[in-house]
Each structure stands twice: as structure tokens, then as C-alpha cells.
A and B are shown apart, each in its own frame.
Chain A
Amino acid sequence: MKPLAASWVDVFVFPGDKLFKLEDGDNIRIGQGVFKKGEYLVAVKPGYLHKDGNKVWVETAQKRYIPCVGDVVIGVIVERSSEFYQVDIGGFSTALLPLLAFEGATKRNRPHLTVGSCVYARVVSTDRDSEPQLSCLLPGTQHSWVTGETIFGELNQGNLVHCSISLCRNILLGKNSVFTELGKYIAFEQATGMNGRIWVRSQSAGHIVLLSNLLVCSENMTNEQLNAMIRNLVSKMTATTPTAIDEATNGR
């Protein structure tokens, strides 16, 4: 693979820009925003070009999710039929989640999700002629859905945050430090879906509101700004907690 410019990585590209010239024996995985045209890789979306190993993709500020095999997503059940749940994953059409696609589920013993329930699942097939298929199964695990220890499955309590897909990707790639930084101070659970939805749960409603709002505003901040803000908020918090006040009054 031959780059067609001195530096094609982390630059802004426009649709139609020729990115790479393919050579014999290339083994490349192309992601969103890149299209193979003849012997060239061409950008089809405006955005930043990224290259990681043999993966090439263009990162856009897109909100519409395009399903892709292997993505983890958070969906909302819209309808239930005899074999499938229809799940809204923010894509062009609803996705199908088989009733039995849960860890350890049998015909008699399976989760009963209602319309409006949230599920954390992964995309297993995206055929161009049919609806995308989801699954809550994870090969190689021993847990059953009954115990609630499975990674995928229904999400209970907490709040769902809607954000852009690039924010989700940055969080999953570890480029956005909001969770790692905040995790040093407060306890919480989170599930990030590739379809622009993040689920958060914590000890109190106040904590969840804080998390949700921090997530939304983390999109337009650098990690340094974000960390400084979190530290600032935490110092305010600890300054007024009962223990701190007790210590202060006892000291006097």
C-alpha cells in the first residue's frame, strides 16, 4: 500500500480524495468513510483520516449509526414477535434480536423484555438485503443471563445518554479520559455502545446526572481540560462532604 501524500494520517480529507494506491499482496481492512475504487482507496466522507496497522478509516462527526459486524450497541426494544425482538439501534432500520440469543436461555427460561427495554448487544450480521442481526451471546463465557453477570443483556436502572458516534469511538479507543479520570473518585457502571448511546449507573440520581452531563460536555474538551474540571468538581465535593465538615468542626 502506497500513500499518495507525504502524510495521510490524522489529516482532514474530503470526499473524492485519493488516499492510498493498492499494491499486490496488500491485506487492508477498510472502515467507514473509505471506498475501494479500482486500485485506489478513496475517501467518501469528509473527516480525519486514521490508520492503525492495516485498518484505514475516516472519522466523521456523524450521528446516524451504520451497523457493522462486531460492534457493541445499545438498543431499545420497539416490537416483539414470536421469534425476534425488533430493536432500534439508531440505524437505517431496526435490528433483529432472536428471543433465545441470550446466554443460557432456553425456550422455557429466557428473559422477557418489554417494549422500551434497553439491551446491550453485539452486531453479528449486517447483510445488505436484510435487517442487521444482534446477539447477547458471548462465546466462551460460563454465566447465565439469570445471574445478571453476563456482559450483554438487558440494562436496568441508570440513565441513557445520547451522543455522537465519534465520542463513543473515542471512549472505546481510550482517547477520551472521562471515565478513567472520574473512576478514580466515584464508583459507577457504564456501557458504551458504538451507536451513539452510553448507559451509566451509579449510587444516586445526582451521581448519574453528573456523569451524563460530563459525558455530553466531554465531547468538545481536551483530556487536560476534562481532567482539570473533574478534579475541580471533586475537590468541591470533598470539601463539603460530612466527614470533611466533621473534621473541621472537631478541629476547632
Chain B
Amino acid sequence: MRDEPLSILEKNFALEALQAGIRVDGRKVDEARLVDFEFSSTQHGTVTVRLGKTKVLSSVTAEVVEPTADRPAEGFVTFSVDLSPMASEVLVLEYLSSGRSSSTLEEASEIVRFLQQLIRESNAIDTETLCIVAGVQVWAIRVDIHVLDHGGNVLDACCMAALASLLHMRRPDVTIVGNDVFIHSIEEREPIALTIHHLPISVSFGIFSDGDLVAVDPNLQEESVMEGTLSIAVNAHKEVCAFRKAGGAPMETTAIFKCASSAYLRATEVTMQLEKALSKTNNIAIASVKPLEVETTKKSFPLNEHIEGVTAVWKQVAEQQTYLDNEKLATPSHPGVINKTEFENSADESDDEAFKNSDDLLSSTDSDEEMAMPVIARPKGGKGRSKNIK
């Protein structure tokens, strides 16, 4: 899609629609776009993620390298984001003005930084399990992300793509005999999944008109009038793994907390979709910590999302005409807010289940079953080390 420079008219309209409580593509203010994961059937660790019109391709490669001296028993996980000028005219203009090459673009390096925070620093991936021989050989995992179509909110799409491809990745099995390291080809031995402890899902919000308006998952037209973004990465345990607020627009603390709780709902929804898509692809049952039971807004991926959008807007238009303004003000607070005590109770329960699940899994990998499973366990619940390396 070649998109032309946005006109003043479109920018004004995006803001006007938001102020009227509608989005330009027919969503509600607190409604995110549909996500679609498309895993490669031939290559492990390759996935295409669609978020509305945004399209991102991520692929993971593994390499054996020498570790650094200060951390001899840890592998590497690196990210690179390529915002190609093909994806958007906006980017082409940016390239021309900055005269830089694709991966050095400011936006790209910001995404890389966020990915590091999200996946490496939140300990989502265990770098210790990437060690083959301490101080001699470790695995270097490289995640290459290409933005194919820029339809707004590239950050979220990149984070989902990175996570999905890491989950889908299989690295070759390794055996150590004496001082020799044997790397088995994929045909020889079933390749091994990476150890991923939890799934942090990034949810971005656009901040408009001095922080008065906050809309989840802004599209390109809305991004052009956005004053700032707020990105919160949450996992299924309701832990905030990464937080980023860019653009400098002011925002109230209560609004941020509200965003965090709706980010959690969205993250749960995306996690479920990701697991479903992953299990469908390879028939690999991925074990995960069961997310808390929450209501999801979308059940399936409809063929034509625009039709959905149109019906939603039409309903909204009708509603607006029906209710008087003062009645609208009196509507109850955000339905997504979960009672605190209620949440803690259910969190405890899921914790116990998580431990059981992860224990089961570890024992099953011990007994060397032919099915390689990615282990997603709680970060605190014991080291989820792959037992194949001993």
C-alpha cells in the first residue's frame, strides 16, 4: 500500500471523530484492532503478524558464538528492526530528511530498546539455558523484524511478532561428549524450543488533546495527530514488564492506572489468540500459565473487519441520538476494572496451577519424549532450564 502524505483534512477529522467518541475506522475508543498470527509452515521461528492494516514479519535465527568474559554462562538475544521505506510514505520522507539507513532510524531504535526491555530485561527468555559450554560456546539468538506495512502502532505489532517468533523457534539439539560438542541436525534429532517464562504483551495508547483523550491502538491517521504514546507491556500474571511514555503529553496518574488495567485485558486476549494460533500451526501443545478468566470482546477473526466496524459505528451513532448528553455522563465506570481482592484470590489460585503445570512439563522433558515443548513457567517458580543440556 502506498499511502500519500496525510492532508490537514484527515488529521482534523481523526481528532474530530475521537472527540465524538468514535474512531476513523469505526472502532470504539477502547477497542483495539484485530490481531492475526500467521506462522510459517516450513521455517521455525518465522511469523507474520497483522494488526489491522499493519503487517510485520519476524524471523529468528540461532548461531553458536563465544560468550562475553563477564557473563560466561549466558547466551545472547538480540533484536533488529527494519522500518523499510516500502512500508510507508511517511518513512520515505523521514529517510530523505535524515539521510540515514533503514535500521538506524530513530523510531526503529526506539522499538529495539523497548523489545530489549520487554523480552530480555523482564526475563521472559532465559539466557542461561542458551549456554552450551560455559565460557566457551553459547547460543546467540537473533530476532529480525521487518515492518512490511505501516498502518499505525508498529511497536505493538513488533513486540507481538518478536514474541510469537521466539515461541515458534526451535534450535538444534546439542550433546557434549568429553570436550567435544555435537550439534545435531534437525533431521537427526528433534530440535528444541526456547525456554520462555512468560508472555509480555505490549499495548499502546495514543494520547490526544493534552491528555484529555486516550485511545488504545491508534492507526496511522490517528498517529498523525497524536501528542504522545503510552505503551504498557503486561503478562498473564498482571505484571507490568515494560513501560514507555513518549511524546511529552501530560497524563494523569488515574488515567495511567486505567490504561494499565485495560492493557491487561487486551494482553490476555492476545495471549489466548497467540496460543491458539501456535497450537494450530504445529500441533504443538504449548503449556502456559492459564490467564485469569476475563471477558474477551472478540471471539473470532471475521472475514471483513470493515463490516464489523461499520455496524459498531452505526450502533454508536444510534446510541448517541438516543441518549441525552447528561445521561451519557452518568454511565458506570470502566467495566474492565477488576475488584482488587477478587483479583488477588484468583491470582493465587492460578499460581498454584502454574507450579503444577511447569513441574509436569519439566518431568516430561526429562523423560525425553519426542515432542519438544516450549516451557512457559513462572519466573520465580524455579529455573525453567531445559534439561536436555546437562
Hey, which bits of chain A sit against chain B, CB under 8 A?
63-64, 76, 78, 88, 90, 114, 116-118, 155-160, 162, 197, 199, 204-210, 212-214, 216-217, 220, 229, 233, 236-237, 239-242, 245
Chain B residues 286-315 with CB under 8 Å of chain A are 304, 306-307, 309-311, 313-315
Q: Which of A162, A207, A214, A233 sits near B3, CB closer than 8 Å?
A: A162
Contact B16 A241 (CB under 8 A): no
Query: In the complex, what residues of A have CB within 8 A of residue B12's CB?
Result: 157
Residue of B nearest to A64 (CB): B2
Query: In the complex, what residues of B have CB within 8 A of residue A197's CB?
Result: 4
Contact B8 A117 (CB under 8 A): yes
Query: In the complex, what residues of B have CB within 8 A of residue A158's CB?
Result: 9, 13
Q: Do most interface residues of chain B lie in helix, strand or loop, or is the interface mixed?
A: helix
Interface presence of B353 (CB below 8 A)? no
Q: Which of A116, A207, A214, A241 sits near B8, CB closer than 8 Å?
A: A116
Considering the chains assembled together, what is the distance between the CA atoms of A114 and B316 in angstroms? 34
Considering the chains assembled together, what is the distance between the CA atoms of A242 and B207 in angstroms? 33
Contact B306 A217 (CB under 8 A): yes
Considering the chains assembled together, what is the distance between the CA atoms of A237 and B8 in angstroms? 31
Query: In the complex, what residues of B have CB within 8 A of residue A239's CB?
Result: 318
Interface presence of B170 (CB below 8 A)? no
Query: In the complex, what residues of B have CB within 8 A of residue A156's CB?
Result: 9
Considering the chains assembled together, what is the distance between the CA atoms of A229 and B308 in angstroms? 11
Considering the chains assembled together, what is the distance between the CA atoms of A105 and B216 in angstroms? 45
Contact B307 A229 (CB under 8 A): yes
Contact B13 A155 (CB under 8 A): no
Interface presence of B333 (CB below 8 A)? no
Contact A208 B4 (CB under 8 A): no
Hey, which bits of chain B sit against chain A, CB under 8 A?
1-13, 16-17, 19-20, 22-26, 304, 306-307, 309-311, 313-322
Considering the chains assembled together, what is the distance between the CA atoms of A158 and B9 in angstroms? 7
Contact A209 B7 (CB under 8 A): no
Contact B20 A216 (CB under 8 A): no
Contact A114 B317 (CB under 8 A): no
Given that A159-B13, A242-B321 are contacting pairs, would A209 and B5 also be in contact in the complex, using a CB cutoff of 8 Å? no
Given that A213-B310, A242-B322 are contacting pairs, would A205 and B2 also be in contact in the complex, using a CB cutoff of 8 Å? no
The distance from the CB of B13 to the nearest CB of chain A, in whole angstroms, is 4
Enumerate 15 A-B pairs (CB-CB under 8 Å) in ascending A order: A90-B4, A155-B9, A156-B9, A157-B12, A207-B317, A210-B26, A213-B306, A213-B310, A213-B313, A216-B306, A217-B304, A217-B310, A220-B304, A236-B314, A241-B321
Given that A114-B8, A159-B9, A205-B13 are contacting pairs, would A63 and B23 also be in contact in the complex, using a CB cutoff of 8 Å? no
Contact B20 A204 (CB under 8 A): yes
Query: In the complex, what residues of A have CB within 8 A of residue B19's CB?
Result: 205
Contact B5 A76 (CB under 8 A): yes
Considering the chains assembled together, what is the distance between the CA atoms of A158 and B17 in angstroms? 10
Q: Do most interface residues of chain A lie in helix, strand or loop, or is the interface mixed?
A: mixed
Considering the chains assembled together, what is the distance between the CA atoms of A241 and B322 in angstroms? 6
Q: Which of A63, A162, A204 sits near B317, CB closer than 8 Å?
A: A204
Besides A159-B24, A213-B26, A240-B322, 6 other CB < 8 A contacts? A90-B2, A116-B5, A216-B306, A217-B306, A240-B319, A240-B321
Contact A209 B8 (CB under 8 A): no
Contact B316 A159 (CB under 8 A): no
Query: In the complex, what residues of A have CB within 8 A of residue B311's CB?
Result: 233, 236
Query: In the complex, what residues of A have CB within 8 A of residue B310's CB?
Result: 210, 213-214, 217, 229, 233
Q: Which of B1, B26, B309, B318 sits near A240, CB closer than 8 Å?
A: B318
Residue of A nearest to B26 (CB): A213
Considering the chains assembled together, what is the distance between the CA atoms of A239 and B318 in angstroms? 9
Query: In the complex, what residues of B have CB within 8 A of residue A114's CB?
Result: 8
Considering the chains assembled together, what is the distance between the CA atoms of A217 and B311 in angstroms? 12
Q: Which of B11, B24, B313, B318 sits near A241, CB closer than 8 Å?
A: B318
Considering the chains assembled together, what is the distance between the CA atoms of A76 and B11 in angstroms? 13
Query: In the complex, what residues of A have CB within 8 A of residue B1's CB?
Result: 63
The distance from the CB of B179 to the nearest CB of chain A, in whole angstroms, is 60
Considering the chains assembled together, what is the distance between the CA atoms of A209 and B3 in angstroms? 19
Residue of A nearest to B307 (CB): A217
The distance from the CB of A51 to the nearest CB of chain B, in whole angstroms, is 30
Contact B4 A76 (CB under 8 A): yes
Query: In the complex, what residues of B have CB within 8 A of residue A216's CB?
Result: 306
The distance from the CB of A193 to the nearest CB of chain B, in whole angstroms, is 11
Query: In the complex, what residues of B have CB within 8 A of residue A63's CB?
Result: 1-2
Considering the chains assembled together, what is the distance between the CA atoms of A239 and B314 in angstroms? 12
**What 9 pairs across the A-B complex have the smallest Cβ distances?**
A206-B317, A116-B8, A217-B306, A205-B20, A240-B318, A205-B17, A159-B13, A76-B7, A213-B310
Given that A205-B17, A229-B307 are contacting pairs, would A159 and B10 also be in contact in the complex, using a CB cutoff of 8 Å? yes
Query: In the complex, what residues of B have CB within 8 A of residue A217's CB?
Result: 304, 306-307, 310
Q: Which of B2, B22, B318 sits near A209, CB closer than 8 Å?
A: B22
Considering the chains assembled together, what is the distance between the CA atoms of A116 and B4 in angstroms? 11
Considering the chains assembled together, what is the distance between the CA atoms of A162 and B89 in angstroms? 14
The distance from the CB of B385 to the nearest CB of chain A, in whole angstroms, is 50
| Most chain A Cβ neighbours within 10 Å, of B3, B4, B316, B320 | B4
Contact A160 B304 (CB under 8 A): no
Considering the chains assembled together, what is the distance between the CA atoms of A118 and B20 in angstroms? 23
The distance from the CB of B267 to the nearest CB of chain A, in whole angstroms, is 27
Contact B7 A118 (CB under 8 A): yes
The distance from the CB of A28 to the nearest CB of chain B, in whole angstroms, is 32
The distance from the CB of B90 to the nearest CB of chain A, in whole angstroms, is 13
Residue of A nearest to B19 (CB): A205
Contact B17 A116 (CB under 8 A): no
Contact B5 A78 (CB under 8 A): yes
Contact B20 A157 (CB under 8 A): no
